Structure 1
Amino acid sequence: MSSAAVRRQERRISPVFLAVSAVMGVTGWAVWTDFAALPGVAVFLFVTSAWIVSLCLHEYAHARTALHSGDVTVGAKGYLTLNPFAYTHAVLSVILPVLFVIMGGIGLPGGAVFVERDRIRGRWKHSLVSAAGPLANVLFAVVCTAPFWLGALDGVPDAFRYALAFLAFLQVTAALLNLLPVPGLDGYGILEPWLSYRARRRIAPYAPYGFFVVIALLFVPAVNAAFFDTVDALMRSLGVDGRALGCGSALYRFWEGAPGGCPV
């Protein structure tokens, strides 16, 4: 097989990603047209599938940036196919973030693709590889909230508007958590190339635990309040009010009962 054919094979979009995208499209249409008998079920499927799509795009952004920065091995590892099960740790990258959305309604940063950093030259390139994933979440949030900050909500069905608000909330929380300068998260990956070799060696043993430390800190009332106050301020800056977000969250958890004060 020629090298060109190999590259095409390595970058062919995964059927798994296409299937999830199809679910997102069909359920999004069902929410928009009020086709579903239970709008909460349609919102749940739409937001969950869209969240998985965003997780794939997050990891793809890391891989694609790494490819153009010098790591030509990412293609052979399947990272360019958008297959959610091709990542270094599918449980941390996809399954756990989805479970957290269902149980806690927060966009949890997942595990990252494995980048061979020794193939990448230049501190800026290393930082950009780490930043690419959260930037994908930021872009996703901007797209979801476009009808809000553009003042283009006329004609947008209530249920679809609520779903977009909640989906944007997940993207904002994921981006914020990922950008924290904590070992094991992308925020630290952005900062790490600029640290001394001695500092990196001292911090490296703690990287596997950074993710769990952040989750534990969110259970501290003061930290939790500060984090969600920041999220709320960002959502409002994007034109999303608390009512739309609250209705989106309530519709997503359809099993908890019909949301009061949220016309659909």
Structure 2
Amino acid sequence: MSFADTRRSNSEERRISPVFWVLLGILGTSGWAIWTGFGAAGFGVFLFVVAGWMVSLCLHEYAHARTALHGGDITVGAKGYLTLNPFKYANALMSFVLPVIFVVLGGIGLPGGAVFIERHRIQGRLKHSLISAAGPLVNLAFAVLLLAPVGAGWLDNLPGTTQLGPYQVSVFPAALSFLGLLQVSAALLNLLPVPGLDGYGIVEPWLSPKTRRAVEPFAPYGLLAVFIVLWQSQVNVWFFNLVYNIMGLFGVKGGYADLGQYLFRFWSH
């Protein structure tokens, strides 16, 4: 292969997928609609949150892959992980379909894992930990970008409003708050040191080989175990109280996110 062919191949491996551009287009169009008050508020919030959530999932997986590339795994490009195409990831069901279903049903930012990293190519425990941490850090960065403008009051007087009972409420900041809630919950869940989640991936390189071998059989069931625990009402209350407290650090009240979720579930009212 010539140098020109190599450069062309690398360019194709990193070219942003049309699928991702479509997601950005839906995000931008629905965001404009709820900003200006065009169309049905609930349907606009639904499109905005689903598109925004999927964009964040793509960037979450991209962060894992990009960090792995710089860490020594040069195969991630050939696998399509750098194109931001959700259909290129190893497990689209776990990383995209189920998380979207959980958002629709319960308003929980369910984490997913989809990029297959060839860990033997990466030297150094710190690099392995950084690869695992890269995804949740994207969710945290998203949360800051979404929640900071709402908490600062920059979006209080937008034209896009809807009538809820006797109150006229702004739609766009409510949608941002709900999407921000999903990002915070996804980051918190993903940082749990549970096998199969990124939190365990952060600490795993520092564990003894004996401990890692003992824990390995439980990795496929880690996410299921977290879901079962969250299904318990008291744990669910504790978890969302923590999420709301974190949002409160940005000056965003939990009621704003609840309003966003109410608008998001437009089919139920």
Moved more, 243-252 or 175-184: 243-252
Unpaired stretches in structure 1, ≥5 consecutive residues = 258-264
Shift of 1:221: 2.4
* Residue pair 2:136, 2:198 contacting (<8 A) in 1 also: yes
Q: 1:77 is matched with which residue?
A: 79
In 2, Cα distance between equivalents of 1:154 and 1:94: 32
The one of 97, 111, 118 aligned to 2:99: 97
Shift of 1:225: 1.9
SS, match of residue 240 in structure 1: coil
Q: 2:35 is matched with which residue?
A: 32
Q: 2:12 is matched with which residue?
A: 9
The one of 245, 248, 257 aligned to 2:260: 248
Unpaired stretches in structure 2, ≥5 consecutive residues = 161-169
Q: 1:261 is matched with which residue?
A: none
- Superposed, 1:36-47 pairs within 5 Å as 36=39, 38-47=40-49
- RMSD between aligned residues: 1.0
In 2, Cα distance between equivalents of 1:48 and 1:252: 9
Corresponding letter in the other structure for 1:128: L
Corresponding letter in the other structure for 2:263: L
Q: 2:244 is matched with which residue?
A: 232
Q: 2:61 is matched with which residue?
A: 59
Q: Cα deviations across residues 121-171 of structure 1 (Å, max 9, x unaligned)? A: 111100000000000000001000121343423434410010000000000
Shift of 1:220: 1.6
Q: 1:120 is matched with which residue?
A: 122
Corresponding letter in the other structure for 1:126: H
In 2, Cα distance between equivalents of 1:227 and 1:120: 35
In 1, Cα distance between equivalents of 2:125 and 2:58: 25
Shift of 1:223: 1.7
SS, match of residue 167 in structure 1: helix
Identity %: 59
Q: 2:197 is matched with which residue?
A: 185
SS, match of residue 115 in structure 2: coil
SS, match of residue 163 in structure 1: helix
Corresponding letter in the other structure for 1:55: L
Question: Is residue 219 of structure 1 aligned with residue 231 of structure 2?
Answer: yes
The one of 159, 168, 172 aligned to 2:184: 172
Shift of 1:239: 1.5
TM-score, normalisation: structure 1: 0.95
* Residue pair 2:156, 2:173 contacting (<8 A) in 1 also: no
Aligned length: 256
SS, match of residue 146 in structure 1: helix
Corresponding letter in the other structure for 2:247: M
Moved more, 145-154 or 23-32: 145-154
In 2, Cα distance between equivalents of 1:49 and 1:67: 27
In 1, Cα distance between equivalents of 2:155 and 2:26: 24
Corresponding letter in the other structure for 1:57: L
In 2, Cα distance between equivalents of 1:234 and 1:44: 24
* Residue pair 2:69, 2:76 contacting (<8 A) in 1 also: yes
Moved more, 208-217 or 105-114: 105-114
The one of 135, 138, 143 aligned to 2:137: 135
SS, match of residue 218 in structure 1: helix
